[in-house]
């Protein structure tokens, strides 16, 4: 049973999701958190991960570590996205099993579901159709992680559970225009255009795809919920259950940043999946629900961005 003194290792504790989980656990009174930076521990190195887990002996592992990025990054670095993500998660999952870690929380992404699956996306839709080509490399890696944790539940009866968030955003996000996701990329573009006399902003695609967004602190609360409860199934969607068009998202961010220029849609660029709305009824039935609505979350993220604009996180390949 997890308590406030349980030793909890958060892999990826410096990233957007991992740091939100760390802050949330500290705020709730957890006193025995451990982490290792990428310079201290290369999660792609199997022996290094095994040695670290064996020495640290955590009671719980939360895997918030991943090679992540938007359409451009996934398209340009398919090998890194499939191989490095599989290395990271496989090393963590297998080391946890070998060292007797009883509880493991694996974080994935809504992109694991088929591109044209019925909406909203239910957990049962996994592996029922073709993936979205623009991020299939990342999706396949994450699917293997889900299945590895499911196999451990089935074979060894351990509490290994997978949480699949919708599109996450928030403080400590990646705002690098070459590798970031849609919301932080838009935020940076609108902010810089405002600073440049409200210059026009060009955005990818048609603006018609529908997307759902979850503030990262709400994701952290879902992880704590999974930490403090033994969830009866192996896979759970985490989201708001509400989506909007990319055009509506752009207009919301434009309003919050104060940009007053023109928005130009470059329809020669890909849209990605037409819609990705999560069915979150399973988590709702257990008692978890998000708290931060999109406009408030974007405002909080923008306030943080403005304070940290000179050193916003960048990802280098």
pLDDT of residue 99: 98
pLDDT of residue 313: 55
User: Could you give the CA distance from residue 192 to residue 21 in angstroms, rounded to a whole number?
Assistant: 30
Total count of residues recorded for the chain: 317
Give the CATH number, domain containing residue 254.
3.40.50.720
For the cut 60, the answer to whether the pLDDT of residue 317 exceeds it is no
1 in any annotated domain: no
User: Could you give the CA distance from residue 317 to residue 315 in angstroms, rounded to a whole number?
Assistant: 7
CA dihedral 52, 161, 235, 73 (to 10 degrees): -20
Catalytic residue among 9, 30, 138, 234: 138
The continuous run of DSSP H or E covering 16 comes out as helix 16-27
pLDDT of residue 271: 84
DSSP assignment of 122-140 equals PGGGTTSSPPPGGGHHHHH
- pLDDT per residue over 151-200, tens digit each? 999 999 999 999 999 999 999 998 988 777 899 999 999 999 999 999 99
What mean pLDDT, rounded, does the chain reach? Answer: 94
DSSP at 187: H
Q: What is the CA radius of gyration of the chain?
A: 19
147 in any annotated domain: yes
Q: What is the mean pLDDT of residues 114-137?
A: 93
127 in any annotated domain: yes
317 in any annotated domain: no
DSSP at 209: -
For the cut 60, the answer to whether the pLDDT of residue 315 exceeds it is no
DSSP at 205: S
The continuous run of DSSP H or E covering 71 comes out as helix 71-76
Answer whether 249's CB lies under 8 Å from 209's CB. no
Look at residues 230, 238, 216, 222 and name the one whose alpha carbon lies nearest to residue 166.
238
Q: Is 138 a catalytic residue?
A: yes
143 in any annotated domain: yes
166 in any annotated domain: yes
Answer whether 70's CB lies under 8 Å from 48's CB. no
- pLDDT per residue over 228-277, tens digit each? 999 999 999 999 999 999 999 999 999 999 999 999 999 999 887 788 89
Per the annotation, where are the binding residues for NADP(+)? 12-18, 107-110, 142, 165-168, 181
Per the annotation, where are the binding residues? 12-18, 107-110, 142, 165-168, 181, 189, 204, 211, 271
- Burial, 27: exposed, middle or buried (Cβ in 10 Å; 0-12, 13-18, 19+)? exposed
Backbone dihedral region for residue 205 (phi beyond 0: left; psi -120 to 50: alpha; all else: beta): left
Q: What is the mean pLDDT of residues 32-44?
A: 96
For the cut 80, the answer to whether the pLDDT of residue 18 exceeds it is yes
Q: What is the mean pLDDT of residues 123-152?
A: 95
241 in any annotated domain: yes
Tally of domains within the chain: 1
Q: What is the mean pLDDT of residues 92-105?
A: 98
Look at residues 242, 305, 287, 310 and name the one whose alpha carbon lies nearest to residue 16.
305
Please list the helix, strand and coil fractions of the chain in percent, rounded to the nearest 5, in that order. 45, 15, 40
**What range defines the domain where residue 159 resides?**
8-311
316 in any annotated domain: no
Per the annotation, where are the binding residues for substrate? 189, 204, 211, 271
């Amino acid at each position: 049973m997890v308590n406030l003194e349980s030793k909890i290792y958060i892999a990826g504790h410096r990233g957007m999701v991992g740091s939100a989980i760390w802050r949330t656990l500290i705020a709730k009174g957890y006193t025995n958190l451990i982490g290792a930076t990428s310079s201290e521990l290369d999660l792609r190195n199997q022996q290094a991960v095994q040695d670290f887990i064996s020495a640290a002996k955590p009671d719980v592992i939360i895997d918030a570590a991943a090679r992540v990025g938007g359409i451009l990054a996934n398209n340009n670095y398919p090998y890194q996205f499939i191989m490095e993500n599989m290395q990271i998660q496989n090393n963590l999952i297998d080391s946890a099993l070998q060292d007797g870690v009883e509880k493991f929380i694996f974080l994935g992404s809504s992109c694991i579901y088929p591109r044209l699956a019925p909406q909203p996306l239910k957990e049962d839709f996994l592996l029922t159709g073709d993936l979205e080509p623009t991020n299939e490399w990342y999706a396949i890696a994450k699917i293997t992680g889900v299945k590895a944790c499911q196999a451990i539940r089935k074979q060894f009866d351990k509490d290994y559970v997978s949480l699949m968030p919708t599109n996450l955003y928030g403080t400590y996000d990646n705002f690098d225009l070459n590798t970031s996701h849609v919301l932080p990329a838009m935020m940076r573009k609108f902010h810089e255009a405002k600073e440049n006399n409200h210059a026009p902003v060009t955005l990818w695609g048609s603006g018609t795809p529908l997307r759902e967004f979850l503030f990262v602190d709400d994701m952290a609360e879902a992880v704590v919920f999974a930490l403090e409860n033994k969830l009866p199934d192996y896979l759970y969607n985490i989201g708001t259950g509400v989506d909007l068009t990319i055009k509506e998202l752009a207009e919301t961010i434009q309003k919050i940043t104060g940009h007053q220029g023109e928005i130009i849609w470059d329809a020669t660029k890909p849209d990605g999946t037409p819609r990705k709305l999560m069915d979150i009824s399973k988590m709702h039935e257990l008692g978890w629900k998000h708290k931060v609505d999109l406009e408030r979350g974007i405002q909080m993220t923008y306030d943080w961005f403005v304070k940290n604009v000179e050193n916003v996180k960048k990802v280098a390949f």
